[in-house]
Amino acid sequence: MQPGMRRGRFFSFEGIDGSGKSTQARLLAETLRAAGHEVALTREPGGSPGAEEIRRLLLEGAVDRWSAETELLLFTAARRDHLERTIRPALDAGKMVISDRFVDSTRVYQGVGRADLAGMVEELHRLAIGVEPDLTFLIDIPPATGLARARAREAGEMRFEDMGEAMQERMRAGFLALAAAAPDRIRVVDGDRPAGAIAADVARLAAGAPA
């Protein structure tokens, strides 16, 4: 970071599959740009060329393609590349960084959903990442609603959706538990409403986030 330059802020969006978090990340980016901010809108897994290659390995193919432990290592490798090549440079340049998923997804999907790997998740995060968002928006919806939305997209990246509604129930519970444990960072937003109403709440919360 250049002397006198103000570090940017880092926002993340989390939620179960089909929650609408990607739409809300895009809408917040539009709002911040309209207010005169430089914005880096990114996603996980992905957000850098190397991480996008890993994304295809993780999100496509059979449900049993990888063990939970292997998934965790792949997600962490993708996140490290994303951090080095996209997130840190943007923050150092004073930009607002908005990521569609970050470490909380790994804490939930691999930490409590697929297997009991919470300790391994935190140790890898400490060793390889060491960064938390300034503010995280948890877009919360009923699992059946999210799964129906996700399946209606007819996208190829359906590996986690194909694990079924029971998996989505565990994911939602995991996300809500994280929010309860970190209320200053993670804000729960009701996602079972029109996109405009959700976006207004997100923009209000982002405006009040510490600079």
> What is the percentage of the chain residues whose pLDDT exceeds 70?
89
pLDDT of the residue at 148: 76
- Encode pLDDT of 46-84 as tens digits: 999 999 999 888 888 777 788 889 989 999 999 999 999
From the centroid of its chain, how far is CA 33? 20
- Its pTM stands at 0.88
The per-residue pLDDT for 63 is: 73
- β partners of residue 140: 190
Structure tokens at 202: 């997100």
pLDDT (0 to 100) of residue 3 = 47
- Is the confidence at residue 197, as pLDDT, over 90? yes
Share the mean pLDDT of the chain: 89
pLDDT over 90 (residue 110): no
**Predicted local confidence at residue 154, as pLDDT:** 59
Q: In angstroms, rounded to a whole number, what is the distance separating the alpha carbons of residues 179 and 49? A: 31
pLDDT, greater one: 29 or 109:
29
**89: preceding bond cis by omega (within 30 degrees):** no
Burial of 156: CB neighbours in 10 Å, binned 0-12, 13-18, 19+: exposed
pLDDT of residue 203: 97
Instruction: Give the fold, CATH level 3, of 10-207.
Output: Rossmann fold (3.40.50)
Domain boundaries, the chain: 10-207
